Chain A
Amino acid sequence: MLDTGSEQAFVAFERVQKSYDGETLVVKDLNLDIAKGEFLTMLGPSGSGKTTCLMMLAGFETATHGEIRLQGKEINNIPPHKRGIGMVFQNYALFPHMTVAENLSFPLEVRKIGKSERETKIKRALDMVQMGQFGGRRPAQLSGGQQQRIALARALVFEPELVLMDEPLGALDKQLRETLQFEITRLAHDLGITVVYVTHDQTEALTMSDRVAVFDDGRIQQLAAPDALYEEPQNSFVAQFIGENNTLHGTVKQMGKESCTVELASGEVIEALPVNVSQVGDRTLVSIRPERVEIDPAPGTMEHTLDAEVKEFIYMGDVFRTRLAVAGKDDFVVKTRNRANQTRLRPGQKIRIGWMPQDCRALDP
């Protein structure tokens, strides 16, 4: 976990716990520092506590235990409207009885900003999301994407330094989502604001964030930059949650510093990078990314090769996805790029597969 000193952290969660019913903890001992200007994503399956964390930061939920600090100041007891945090909701939450301009004017009016200044700011915010001509419309007259742009503009119009986004693109179609992902990151970068973004879409998390906090079971499982998260998952949950992953069960036979030997359930022995296994005899889950597996590698290039049988071949356009039976499991997936002379495998074909030991990570079972 990144250890920035609490003093310079822009947002800090310290030993935060949250329980709704007094029996179970939804958030268990959360420690998280967010730097100024950072784009941090909270990623996790539903019920993992990520939205609760966001709501505690926004002030709509109170922490049962622990401290939340904003710019070094404890905000646990500050009501939401005094926190000055912009927020974008999944259902946009645009006020249906107000026009777009009135929606944007609302945060400025409650801050008692003069009319002319309000108009300048509204115009600037609308232009920022390229919705300049839509000021007179009602939210119901806009499409989902347009509404989300307005919601974004409204969260930014009063120039908060911290903006929270709760699955803002969840209700949009794929293409629109990608356009808006790009725009949100661009805006966040241009304006230099700090963004805490909640999503359950890992692609979104990986493409947008500076750092991603993977939540599960009320804890941060891993907090890291997107590439580190993907390349070096710290435990099997993260490995399986982020991207596609092949897993093989086994037992540690030999333990070294840089590598260990794992005997698979089927009896074959492979070498892997020890990540969170500590001693010989530990049960482990070995994970290998589908794109790091070679099919019929040239002899001598790969340290380990295993026998495999093709079960299914799926054409996906840019990649081929081949399902294999390997080491007694038949859900081993290999992804190969669609190159000019790439051979297409047929179900039933017997092949050999191989990978480099550093791509093969021995994790907790």
Chain B
Amino acid sequence: MADATTGPDQFTGPTPDNAIREADRAGRTEPMVAADGTPLKRSLNRALRRQKLRALALISPLLIFILVTFVAPIADMLFRSVENQIVSETLPRTVVALEDWDGTGVPDEEVFRALAADLVVAEELKNHTRLGSRLNYEMTGMSSLMRQTGRDVDEIGEVLTDQFVELDPAWEEPATWVSLMARDGWVEDQAEWVAAAEEAEAAQDAAATPEERRALAFDEPEPTFRVSDAAQEAFPRTARIYGQFADITQTEDEDSPTEEEPWNIVYQALYEDLSAGTAQGYDGPEADLVARSEAAVSDFDAPSVRSFFVDEIDEDWADPEVWGTIQAFSSPYTAGYFLSAVDLKLTPDGIEAQDADQSIYILLFERTMFMSLTIMFSCILLGYPIAFLLSNLPMRTSNLLLILVLLPFWTSLLVRTSAWKVLLQQQGVINDILVWIGLVSDTNRLALINNQTGTIIAMTHILLPFMILPLYSVMKTIPPSYVRAAKSLGATNWTAFWRVYFPQSVPGIGAGCILVFILSIGYYITPELVGGTTGTFISNRIAYHISSSLNWGLAAALGTILLVLVLALYYLYDRIVGIDNVSLG
């Protein structure tokens, strides 16, 4: 490199050379300091901080808007692709009980008891149908199984209820249960609350005007029911299910556990606890009743929960596959959606290929890619000459033509797509013309719509401006003198174009390709309308799962894969072409 003083031209202004030399020089010496001795970098940062803060303040409304309306929903949606808490939240006992199941045969009684307790709660909360839909994505029939089970599951334990009541009618009394289960002081708190409520009511009755009456309204909720530690220790299952019963009674039904008879499943749990012997030596409230009952349960006639499920509710409960599915999807996070999205499935035996008649997504991804690439290349082929022409015409003419290019944007996308339907159908204008010219016979009209051809034609038309505009704006900046120079140097028209003009228009092609490709890969309306069955994109499937099948997890997984795919292609593009080679003009 020539030194500044010996180079052919002695520059005083800043040139790239000078900047490089300056940088070299700076690298050799100590860090620069400002006049007051602080490092120059720091004082520069301080000087720029105000500016940066102001810039941040200026963009913050948009930033917040984007975060709230764009980033957050997308993050939430992407999260759904792995989220699977519904199984472990709806069937907490079953999931734990199933941990020891080896995956073969029907699980034992213990698992069915857990399932019964879980499903009674789920049925009360109306969660069992949601669980059914979720599991139905993995195994068809689960939805109806759950609905069926939900109808009958409250009968479990009925026999035991009768026997307990027969043994001592006190078991029928809600008060017995409350005193057995409630935490210390709850009964007193509740009594106080009742007294306060009655007092308020009396005061209200005495009130003269409606306003006064309203002012005296008593709207404090009943004290929240808590199970006592002693009960939890002595009757773990009963305490858990009764706790849930009390909670649901208070919050969902807005009733009081002091007035409601517990569910049959609570008696079932009590039977299990008493048989298990955990209540031996219990000395809390109602100890006498408990002791008597404990002595009696061995003589109780306790039907098997398992056989009730299998024989009375649905024989599918004897199907190991049902249990395998529940076990496979019991973890709070799952790769199941992603596996489904690439035509695999999670089975009790590990990951397997989806059945041939159900594998569709790989094909759809491939088709989306292929069609997007085809659309992109058709856009280049059609758009490049137009952009070239536009950039070489005088300003007045090119502006007019540019308006024609933009004209499609002024009509609704739906209208344009429908217009293609009219044009391309078998009895449509294009086929009519072809028949009239004699290119195709009347009996052999071309199928141009409701297939891939239709989607490609319509989408190329719709996305063409996105190719032309960046191309035009880049070509506009290429001075005609380059091509002239090339010709004066002896290049033919073609060589001048290919070696001089074209490389300089590549940034425009790049920008256009990225725009068109990314737009088309996620396009929805046009393929939906003109794609038929063979011309639809992955986005149509995503939309189906969002709005029809309501399998949002799978939709999210498909969307995530699409996003990753686009980012990967973007990265690839950056490596091959270089992203700084993209220009919108």
* A residues whose Cβ falls under 8 Å from a Cβ of B: 58-60, 79-87, 89-91, 93, 95-97, 106-107, 110-111, 129-131, 133, 140-143, 145-146, 149, 154-155, 158, 164, 176, 179
Contacts and interface: CB of A to CB of B under 8 A. Distances in A.
A89 B9 contact: no
7 contacts: A60-B484, A81-B492, A84-B490, A93-B481, A140-B16, A143-B13, A179-B9
Nearest to A58: B488
Interface centre among A93, A111, A129, A131 (most CB of B within 10 A): A93
B300 interface: no
A85 B493 CA distance: 16
A106 B491 contact: yes
A96 B9 CA distance: 21
B499 A106 contact: yes
A110 B16 contact: no
Interface string B467-501: 00000000000010110111111111101100110
A143 B479 CA distance: 19
A106 B486 contact: yes
Contacts of B15: 142-143
Interface in B350-395: none
A319 B539 CA distance: 80
Contacts of A59: 487-488
Interface of B: 1-2, 7-9, 11, 13, 15-17, 479, 481-482, 484-493, 495-496, 499-500, 503-504
Contacts of A95: 482, 485-486, 500, 504
Contacts of B16: 140-143
B9 A107 contact: no
A83 B2 CA distance: 37
Nearest to B504: A97
Nearest to A146: B9
B11 A110 contact: no
A142 B8 CA distance: 12
Contact of B491 (A81, A86, A146, A149): A81
Contacts of A154: 489
A154 B504 CA distance: 19
Given A89-B485, A96-B504, A97-B503, A131 B8 contact: yes
B382 to A, nearest CB: 25
B488 A176 contact: no
Contacts of B17: 141, 143
A146 B8 contact: yes
A59 B493 CA distance: 13
A81 B495 CA distance: 10
A83 B489 CA distance: 9
A143 B11 contact: yes
Contacts of A110: 489-492, 495
Contacts of A130: 8
A93 B479 contact: yes
Contact of B9 (A106, A143, A155): A143
Contacts of A106: 486, 489, 491, 499
Nearest to B492: A81
Given A93-B481, A97-B503, A97-B504, A129 B489 contact: no
B503 A149 contact: no
Given A87-B485, A110-B490, A110-B495, 7 more contacts: A111-B490, A130-B8, A145-B9, A146-B8, A146-B9, A158-B489, A176-B9
Contacts of B1: 133
B488 A149 contact: no
A90 B488 CA distance: 14
Nearest to A173: B13
A354 to B, nearest CB: 45
A145 B11 CA distance: 9
A107 B15 CA distance: 28
Contacts of A79: 487, 492-493
B578 to A, nearest CB: 12
A56 to B, nearest CB: 13
A129 B8 contact: yes
Interface centre among B1, B482, B486, B488 (most CB of A within 10 A): B488
Contacts of A87: 484-485, 488-489
A90 B492 CA distance: 22
Contacts of B487: 59-60, 79-81
Given A95-B482, A140-B16, A158 B9 contact: no
Nearest to B500: A95
Nearest to B15: A143
Interface centre among B11, B479, B493, B504 (most CB of A within 10 A): B11
Q: Shortest 9 CB-CB distances between A and B: which pairs?
A: A107-B489, A93-B485, A145-B9, A87-B488, A93-B481, A143-B15, A80-B487, A130-B8, A97-B503
A129 B8 CA distance: 8
Contacts of B495: 110
Contacts of A90: 481
Nearest to B478: A96
Nearest to B18: A143
Contacts of B500: 95
Contact of B481 (A91, A97, A133): A91
